[in-house]
Structure 1
Amino acid sequence: MRMKIKKRIFISLLVASIIMFLGFTAAGIALYLNKFNYFYRLLLLAVIAVMIVLIAILSIGLAATVLTLWHVKSFFGLQKLMNFSINLLFPIALTLGRLLHIPKDIVKSSYVEVNNKLVKSRNFRIKPDEILVLAPHCLQRWDCPHKITANVSNCRRCGRCDIDKLLSLVESKGIKLAVATGGTLARKIVMEYRPRAIVAIACERDLSEGILDTNPIPVLGILNIRPEGPCMNTRVDVERVREAVDFFLDYGLTASLIWKGSRADEKCKS
Structure 2
Amino acid sequence: MLLIDKYAYFNRLKHIHPVEKMTFALFLLLFALTVKDTIVSLITFAVMSAFIILGAKIPLRYYIKLLLLPGFFLLSGILTIVISFASIKTTTPHVLWSVEFGYWKLFITENNIKIATKLILVVLSSISCLYFLTLTTPVNAILQVLRKLKVPQLLIEIIEITYRFIFVFLETALHIYQAQNSRLGYMTMKKWLHSLGLLISSLFINVFKRAKELTIAMDSRGYTEDIMYIDDNYQYSAVNWIIITIIIASIVAVYLLFGGTL
Q: Which has the larger radius of gyration?
A: 2
Q: Same fold (TM over 0.5)?
A: no
The two structures have a TM-score, normalised by structure 2, of 0.29
Greater share of residues in helix: 2
The two structures have a TM-score, normalised by structure 1, of 0.28
